[in-house]
């Protein structure tokens, strides 16, 4: 599997397995564990979860039951808005690691920007990094202004920013800025929104004529075209799937290469259309949605 080198020298598999809302948001049971196990058996070693997803326990159980050594995995989790702040961030990772059944996270992210809490939250994350509990530190959904704020005081620079990024929302200026600051850009909802969102299939980029035409040309799925576009643009992708076929297909991207012209054609599909939360105000709603208590 292809990997990308982070600015801190560590390597991250380029295709990860997204675990948000497997079954449903906050579902944490045998179905979730079995779905993650299927992904591991298909070859995924990069698993992306979060305290807010409410399924860290099932993700951790899948890793343990896989029979594969922990060091072979790259596990990402995140601190939620209601957990931000210095002491609460320390506690949040402690709780996440307990649920995951591991001694460390490979990558710990601030799930959403909450500017009033960014400084104490990041300083706590730096402490967790110094203690070896979080091997790499990064961000999720951070705007340029949020990153600029953080870089004013950060002693350890973030190596990663996970964004809503798909052919209808390419965020070229933010992506370029992140890369200029040494951050790898990662794409959540890379295919244009998961089933959890209620977005109709006909409104997703997987049915765009450009994508469908390329899928027919290369005899692959529309999803594989989009994931390959991201990979060739040197981004991390975090697709989530619950079907055996798609779990496997999302890893099978080596049989074709898109031309520069085709990459540009996909870039041109951008509509600045966001399906998920808007970082300008998401934290306000997030504060009303705490992490599941179990």
Where do we find the tokens 């996970």?
Answer: 162
Catalytic residue among 53, 108, 114, 160: 53
Which 3 state secondary structure label does DSSP give 17? strand
Eight-class DSSP state of 133: S
**Residue 179, in any domain of the structure:** yes
pTM for the whole structure: 0.96
User: In tens digits, what is the pLDDT along the chain, a chain of 294 residues?
Assistant: 799 999 999 999 999 999 999 999 999 999 999 999 999 999 999 999 999 999 999 999 999 999 999 999 999 999 999 999 999 999 999 999 999 999 999 999 999 999 999 999 999 999 999 999 999 999 999 999 999 999 999 999 999 999 999 999 999 999 999 999 999 999 998 998 665 567 788 889 999 999 999 999 999 999 999 999 999 999 999 999 999 999 999 999 999 999 999 999 999 999 999 998 999 999 889 999 999 976
Domain membership of residue 187 (yes or no) is yes
53 part of the active site: yes
At a CB cut-off of 8 Å and minimum separation 6, what does 291 contact?
Answer: 51, 52, 54, 80, 82, 83, 92
Angle of helix 222-232 relative to helix 209-218, nearest 10 degrees? 90
Residues sharing a CB contact under 8 Å with residue 180, sequence separation 6 or more, in sequence order = none
- 111 labeled binding residue: yes
Question: Domain containing 133 — which CATH number?
Answer: 3.20.20.100
CA dist 148 and 153 (Å) reads 9
Residue 258 lies in a domain: no
Q: Confirm whether 128 is domain-assigned.
A: yes
Q: What is the pLDDT of residue 156?
A: 98
Q: Can you say how many angstroms the Cα of residue 47 is from the centroid of all Cα atoms in its chain?
A: 9
208 located within any domain: no
Q: What's the confidence (pLDDT) of residue 287?
A: 93
The reply to whether 209 falls in a domain is: no
Residue 86, in any domain of the structure:
yes
3-state secondary structure at position 172: helix
Determine the pLDDT at residue 197.
61
Structural domain range at position 99: 3-197+233-241+273-286
Q: Is 20 contained in some domain?
A: yes
Burial annotation 233-267 (CB, 10 A radius, 16+ → b, else e): bebbbbbbbbeeebbbbbbebeeeebeeebbebbe
Number of independent structural domains in the chain: 1
């Amino acid at each position: 599997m292809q990997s990308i080198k982070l600015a801190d020298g560590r390597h991250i598999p380029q295709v990860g397995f997204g675990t948000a809302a497997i079954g449903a948001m906050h579902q944490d049971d045998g179905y979730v564990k079995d779905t993650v196990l299927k992904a591991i058996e298909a070859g995924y070693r990069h698993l992306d979860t979060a305290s807010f997803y409410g399924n860290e326990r099932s993700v951790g159980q899948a890793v343990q039951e896989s029979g594969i050594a922990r060091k072979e995995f790259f596990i990402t989790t995140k601190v939620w808005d209601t957990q931000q702040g210095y002491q609460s961030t320390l506690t949040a990772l402690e709780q996440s690691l307990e649920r995951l059944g591991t001694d460390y996270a490979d990558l710990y992210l601030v799930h959403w920007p909450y500017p009033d809490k960014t400084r104490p939250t990041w300083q706590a994350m730096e402490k967790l990094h110094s203690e070896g509990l979080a091997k790499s530190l990064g961000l999720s959904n951070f705007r340029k202004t949020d990153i600029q704020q953080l870089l004013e005081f950060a002693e350890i620079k973030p190596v990663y920013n996970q964004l809503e990024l798909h052919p209808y929302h390419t965020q070229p200026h933010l992506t370029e800025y992140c890369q200029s600051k040494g951050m790898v850009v990662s794409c959540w909802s890379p295919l244009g929104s998961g089933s959890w969102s209620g977005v109709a299939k006909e409104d997703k980029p997987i049915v765009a004529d450009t994508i469908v035409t390329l899928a027919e040309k290369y005899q692959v799925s529309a999803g594989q075209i989009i994931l390959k576009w991201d990979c060739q643009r040197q981004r991390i992708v975090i697709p989530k799937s619950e079907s055996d076929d798609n779990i496997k297909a999302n890893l099978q991207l080596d049989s074709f290469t898109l031309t520069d012209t085709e990459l540009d054609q996909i870039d041109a599909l951008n509509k600045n259309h966001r399906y998920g939360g808007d970082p300008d105000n998401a934290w306000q709603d997030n504060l009303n949605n705490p992490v599941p208590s179990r």
